[in-house]
Amino acid sequence: MRAVLTVENLCKTYIVNKQQNNVLRNINFTLQEGEFVSIMGPSGSGKSTLLYTVSGMDRLTAGEVIFDGISLSKLSEKQMAEIRLHKMGFIFQQINMLKNLSIYDNIILSGYQALKSNGSKRSRSDVNADADKLMKRLGIIKLASHDITEVSGGQLQRACICRSLINKPKMLFADEPTGALNSKAAKEVMAELCQINGDGTTIMIVTHDVKVAAQSDKVFYMVDGNIQGELKLDKFSYEKSVRERERRLNNWLMEMGW
Protein backbone atom coordinates (compact mmCIF):
# COMPACT_ATOMS: atom_id res chain seq x y z
CA MET A 1 0.00 0.00 0.00
CA ARG A 2 1.30 3.48 -0.91
CA ALA A 3 1.42 6.45 1.45
CA VAL A 4 -0.81 9.30 0.25
CA LEU A 5 -0.17 11.64 3.20
CA THR A 6 2.93 11.83 5.41
CA VAL A 7 3.16 14.38 8.23
CA GLU A 8 6.50 14.94 9.96
CA ASN A 9 7.03 17.12 13.05
CA LEU A 10 4.21 19.43 11.98
CA CYS A 11 3.85 22.67 13.93
CA LYS A 12 1.42 25.54 13.47
CA THR A 13 1.77 28.79 15.40
CA TYR A 14 -0.40 31.88 15.36
CA ILE A 15 0.63 35.27 16.73
CA VAL A 16 -2.31 37.06 18.37
CA ASN A 17 -1.75 40.37 20.18
CA LYS A 18 1.99 39.65 20.16
CA GLN A 19 1.33 36.38 21.97
CA GLN A 20 2.49 33.10 20.43
CA ASN A 21 -0.19 30.42 20.25
CA ASN A 22 1.17 26.95 19.39
CA VAL A 23 -1.92 25.31 17.92
CA LEU A 24 -0.16 22.21 16.55
CA ARG A 25 2.91 20.67 18.19
CA ASN A 26 5.24 18.16 16.51
CA ILE A 27 2.57 15.98 14.88
CA ASN A 28 3.63 12.83 13.04
CA PHE A 29 1.54 10.28 11.13
CA THR A 30 1.18 8.55 7.77
CA LEU A 31 -2.00 7.66 5.89
CA GLN A 32 -1.97 4.93 3.27
CA GLU A 33 -4.12 5.01 0.17
CA GLY A 34 -7.65 3.87 0.97
CA GLU A 35 -7.49 4.57 4.72
CA PHE A 36 -10.27 6.33 6.62
CA VAL A 37 -9.16 8.27 9.71
CA SER A 38 -11.25 10.30 12.16
CA ILE A 39 -9.82 13.08 14.30
CA MET A 40 -11.44 13.57 17.69
CA GLY A 41 -10.69 15.59 20.80
CA PRO A 42 -12.07 18.42 22.96
CA SER A 43 -12.94 21.81 21.47
CA GLY A 44 -9.84 23.89 20.85
CA SER A 45 -7.53 20.88 20.62
CA GLY A 46 -6.47 21.73 17.05
CA LYS A 47 -8.54 19.22 15.06
CA SER A 48 -9.73 21.57 12.33
CA THR A 49 -6.38 23.38 12.22
CA LEU A 50 -4.70 20.02 11.57
CA LEU A 51 -7.10 19.24 8.71
CA TYR A 52 -6.64 22.69 7.16
CA THR A 53 -2.85 22.55 7.47
CA VAL A 54 -2.27 19.08 6.02
CA SER A 55 -4.61 19.90 3.12
CA GLY A 56 -2.74 23.09 2.29
CA MET A 57 -5.63 25.42 3.10
CA ASP A 58 -3.39 26.89 5.81
CA ARG A 59 0.40 27.20 5.78
CA LEU A 60 2.44 25.20 8.27
CA THR A 61 4.94 26.93 10.57
CA ALA A 62 7.46 24.09 10.78
CA GLY A 63 7.80 20.45 9.81
CA GLU A 64 6.76 18.74 6.61
CA VAL A 65 3.61 17.57 4.84
CA ILE A 66 4.06 15.22 1.89
CA PHE A 67 0.90 14.70 -0.15
CA ASP A 68 0.99 12.21 -3.02
CA GLY A 69 4.79 12.50 -3.08
CA ILE A 70 4.77 16.31 -3.15
CA SER A 71 6.11 18.56 -0.36
CA LEU A 72 3.33 21.09 0.21
CA SER A 73 5.59 23.59 1.99
CA LYS A 74 7.60 24.07 -1.20
CA LEU A 75 4.60 25.01 -3.35
CA SER A 76 3.49 28.50 -4.32
CA GLU A 77 -0.09 29.56 -3.61
CA LYS A 78 -0.99 28.92 -7.27
CA GLN A 79 0.59 25.45 -7.22
CA MET A 80 -1.18 24.62 -3.95
CA ALA A 81 -4.50 25.72 -5.42
CA GLU A 82 -3.91 23.35 -8.35
CA ILE A 83 -3.25 20.44 -5.99
CA ARG A 84 -6.45 21.16 -4.04
CA LEU A 85 -8.46 21.45 -7.25
CA HIS A 86 -7.21 18.27 -8.90
CA LYS A 87 -6.21 15.90 -6.09
CA MET A 88 -8.25 16.87 -3.02
CA GLY A 89 -11.94 17.06 -2.19
CA PHE A 90 -13.48 19.05 0.67
CA ILE A 91 -16.71 18.71 2.66
CA PHE A 92 -17.64 21.05 5.50
CA GLN A 93 -20.33 21.38 8.14
CA GLN A 94 -21.47 24.68 6.66
CA ILE A 95 -22.71 24.30 3.11
CA ASN A 96 -20.47 26.54 1.00
CA MET A 97 -22.45 26.63 -2.22
CA LEU A 98 -23.19 29.56 -4.51
CA LYS A 99 -26.78 30.71 -4.01
CA ASN A 100 -27.19 31.99 -7.56
CA LEU A 101 -26.42 28.56 -9.05
CA SER A 102 -28.49 25.39 -9.18
CA ILE A 103 -27.43 22.19 -7.41
CA TYR A 104 -26.09 20.84 -10.71
CA ASP A 105 -24.15 23.98 -11.60
CA ASN A 106 -22.55 24.05 -8.13
CA ILE A 107 -21.36 20.47 -8.65
CA ILE A 108 -19.86 20.95 -12.11
CA LEU A 109 -18.24 24.34 -11.40
CA SER A 110 -14.92 23.04 -10.06
CA GLY A 111 -14.92 20.41 -12.80
CA TYR A 112 -15.04 23.16 -15.40
CA GLN A 113 -12.33 25.08 -13.54
CA ALA A 114 -10.06 22.03 -13.75
CA LEU A 115 -10.42 21.96 -17.53
CA LYS A 116 -8.35 25.16 -17.75
CA SER A 117 -5.25 23.34 -16.54
CA ASN A 118 -2.57 22.36 -19.01
CA GLY A 119 -2.78 18.75 -20.07
CA SER A 120 -6.43 18.22 -19.10
CA LYS A 121 -7.92 15.46 -21.23
CA ARG A 122 -11.50 15.99 -20.07
CA SER A 123 -14.17 18.00 -21.82
CA ARG A 124 -17.25 19.74 -20.49
CA SER A 125 -19.34 16.83 -21.65
CA ASP A 126 -17.08 14.50 -19.61
CA VAL A 127 -17.60 16.64 -16.52
CA ASN A 128 -21.36 16.68 -17.12
CA ALA A 129 -21.43 12.89 -17.50
CA ASP A 130 -19.44 12.45 -14.28
CA ALA A 131 -21.81 14.81 -12.45
CA ASP A 132 -24.81 12.82 -13.67
CA LYS A 133 -23.25 9.56 -12.46
CA LEU A 134 -22.42 11.00 -9.05
CA MET A 135 -25.88 12.51 -8.56
CA LYS A 136 -27.57 9.26 -9.59
CA ARG A 137 -25.35 7.29 -7.23
CA LEU A 138 -26.17 9.59 -4.31
CA GLY A 139 -29.87 9.71 -5.18
CA ILE A 140 -30.18 13.43 -5.97
CA ILE A 141 -30.33 13.47 -9.78
CA LYS A 142 -33.96 14.67 -9.66
CA LEU A 143 -32.79 17.74 -7.73
CA ALA A 144 -30.31 18.87 -10.38
CA SER A 145 -32.21 22.02 -11.39
CA HIS A 146 -33.24 22.98 -7.85
CA ASP A 147 -31.86 26.00 -6.02
CA ILE A 148 -29.85 25.22 -2.88
CA THR A 149 -32.71 26.64 -0.77
CA GLU A 150 -35.18 24.12 -2.18
CA VAL A 151 -33.65 20.91 -0.78
CA SER A 152 -33.08 19.39 2.66
CA GLY A 153 -29.84 19.57 4.60
CA GLY A 154 -29.07 15.93 3.93
CA GLN A 155 -29.69 16.33 0.21
CA LEU A 156 -27.51 19.42 0.13
CA GLN A 157 -24.67 17.63 1.90
CA ARG A 158 -24.90 14.80 -0.61
CA ALA A 159 -24.60 17.43 -3.34
CA CYS A 160 -21.47 18.67 -1.58
CA ILE A 161 -20.08 15.13 -1.69
CA CYS A 162 -20.75 15.04 -5.44
CA ARG A 163 -18.95 18.35 -5.82
CA SER A 164 -15.99 17.10 -3.79
CA LEU A 165 -15.67 14.05 -6.08
CA ILE A 166 -16.16 15.72 -9.47
CA ASN A 167 -12.40 15.88 -10.15
CA LYS A 168 -11.77 12.34 -8.87
CA PRO A 169 -9.53 13.32 -5.93
CA LYS A 170 -7.03 11.06 -4.23
CA MET A 171 -8.23 12.19 -0.80
CA LEU A 172 -11.28 13.74 0.85
CA PHE A 173 -11.02 16.11 3.80
CA ALA A 174 -14.21 16.57 5.83
CA ASP A 175 -14.74 18.95 8.77
CA GLU A 176 -17.82 17.93 10.81
CA PRO A 177 -19.78 16.97 7.65
CA THR A 178 -22.70 15.58 9.69
CA GLY A 179 -22.64 18.22 12.42
CA ALA A 180 -25.62 20.20 11.11
CA LEU A 181 -27.70 17.17 10.07
CA ASN A 182 -30.38 15.15 11.85
CA SER A 183 -29.60 11.53 12.70
CA LYS A 184 -31.26 10.10 9.57
CA ALA A 185 -29.47 12.45 7.20
CA ALA A 186 -26.18 11.92 9.03
CA LYS A 187 -26.53 8.17 8.66
CA GLU A 188 -27.19 8.52 4.93
CA VAL A 189 -24.20 10.82 4.41
CA MET A 190 -21.89 8.47 6.34
CA ALA A 191 -23.12 5.52 4.29
CA GLU A 192 -22.02 7.38 1.16
CA LEU A 193 -18.63 8.29 2.63
CA CYS A 194 -18.03 4.67 3.62
CA GLN A 195 -18.93 3.57 0.09
CA ILE A 196 -16.55 6.14 -1.37
CA ASN A 197 -13.80 4.93 0.96
CA GLY A 198 -14.58 1.35 -0.02
CA ASP A 199 -13.98 2.34 -3.64
CA GLY A 200 -10.44 3.40 -2.66
CA THR A 201 -10.61 7.11 -1.78
CA THR A 202 -8.62 8.09 1.32
CA ILE A 203 -10.65 10.10 3.86
CA MET A 204 -9.74 12.30 6.83
CA ILE A 205 -12.66 13.54 8.90
CA VAL A 206 -12.95 15.79 11.95
CA THR A 207 -15.88 14.84 14.16
CA HIS A 208 -17.30 14.97 17.68
CA ASP A 209 -19.72 12.13 16.90
CA VAL A 210 -18.79 8.66 18.16
CA LYS A 211 -21.22 7.05 15.68
CA VAL A 212 -19.37 8.76 12.83
CA ALA A 213 -15.85 8.03 14.09
CA ALA A 214 -16.71 4.36 14.76
CA GLN A 215 -17.07 3.87 11.00
CA SER A 216 -13.46 4.83 10.27
CA ASP A 217 -10.39 2.58 10.14
CA LYS A 218 -8.64 4.43 12.93
CA VAL A 219 -9.13 7.37 15.26
CA PHE A 220 -6.62 10.03 16.34
CA TYR A 221 -7.30 11.72 19.68
CA MET A 222 -5.97 15.26 19.98
CA VAL A 223 -5.28 17.31 23.11
CA ASP A 224 -3.58 20.72 23.18
CA GLY A 225 -2.34 20.52 19.62
CA ASN A 226 -0.88 17.06 19.71
CA ILE A 227 -2.05 13.54 18.90
CA GLN A 228 -2.21 11.82 22.29
CA GLY A 229 -3.44 8.44 21.10
CA GLU A 230 -4.51 6.30 18.17
CA LEU A 231 -7.15 3.57 18.08
CA LYS A 232 -7.05 1.15 15.18
CA LEU A 233 -10.34 -0.35 14.06
CA ASP A 234 -11.10 -2.85 11.32
CA LYS A 235 -12.46 -1.68 7.98
CA PHE A 236 -16.11 -0.82 8.61
CA SER A 237 -18.77 -3.21 7.37
CA TYR A 238 -22.50 -3.03 7.96
CA GLU A 239 -22.48 -6.79 8.47
CA LYS A 240 -20.33 -6.37 11.58
CA SER A 241 -21.55 -5.13 14.94
CA VAL A 242 -21.89 -1.35 14.85
CA ARG A 243 -22.62 -1.25 18.56
CA GLU A 244 -19.45 -3.20 19.35
CA ARG A 245 -17.35 -0.67 17.42
CA GLU A 246 -19.05 2.21 19.20
CA ARG A 247 -18.58 0.52 22.59
CA ARG A 248 -14.89 -0.05 21.93
CA LEU A 249 -14.40 3.55 20.79
CA ASN A 250 -16.35 4.95 23.74
CA ASN A 251 -14.25 2.98 26.21
CA TRP A 252 -11.04 4.16 24.59
CA LEU A 253 -12.19 7.78 24.54
CA MET A 254 -12.98 7.60 28.26
CA GLU A 255 -9.47 6.28 28.89
CA MET A 256 -8.10 9.22 26.91
CA GLY A 257 -10.08 11.68 29.04
CA TRP A 258 -12.95 12.41 26.65
Mean pLDDT of successive 10-residue stretches along the chain, which has 258 residues: 94 84 93 96 94 94 96 93 94 85 95 82 92 93 94 91 94 92 87 92 96 95 95 81 89 93
- Asked if the structure places residue 49 within a domain, the reply is yes
- Asked if the structure places residue 129 within a domain, the reply is no
What is the domain extent for residue 205? Answer: 3-102+171-256
- Asked if the structure places residue 10 within a domain, the reply is yes
Q: What is the pLDDT of residue 240?
A: 64
- Asked if the structure places residue 54 within a domain, the reply is yes
- Asked if the structure places residue 136 within a domain, the reply is no
pLDDT digit string, tens, across residues 64-88: 999 999 999 999 999 999 999 999 9
Tell me, what CATH number does 94's domain have?
3.40.50.300
pLDDT digit string, tens, across residues 141-173: 999 999 999 999 889 989 999 999 999 999 999
* Per-residue 3-state assignment (H helix, E strand, C coil) for the chain: CCEEEEEEEEEEEEEECCEEEEEEEEEEEEEECCCEEEEECCCCCCHHHHHHHHCCCCCCCEEEEEECCEEHHHCCHHHHHHHHHHHEEEEECCCCCCCCCEHHHHHHHHHHHHCCCCCCCCCHHHHHHHHHHHHHHCCCHHHCCCEHHHCCHHHHHHHHHHHHHCCCCCEEEEECCCCCCCHHHHHHHHHHHHHHHHCCCEEEEECCCHHHHCCCCEEEEEECCEEEEEEECCCCCCCCCHHHHHHHHHHHHHHHCC
- Asked if the structure places residue 90 within a domain, the reply is yes
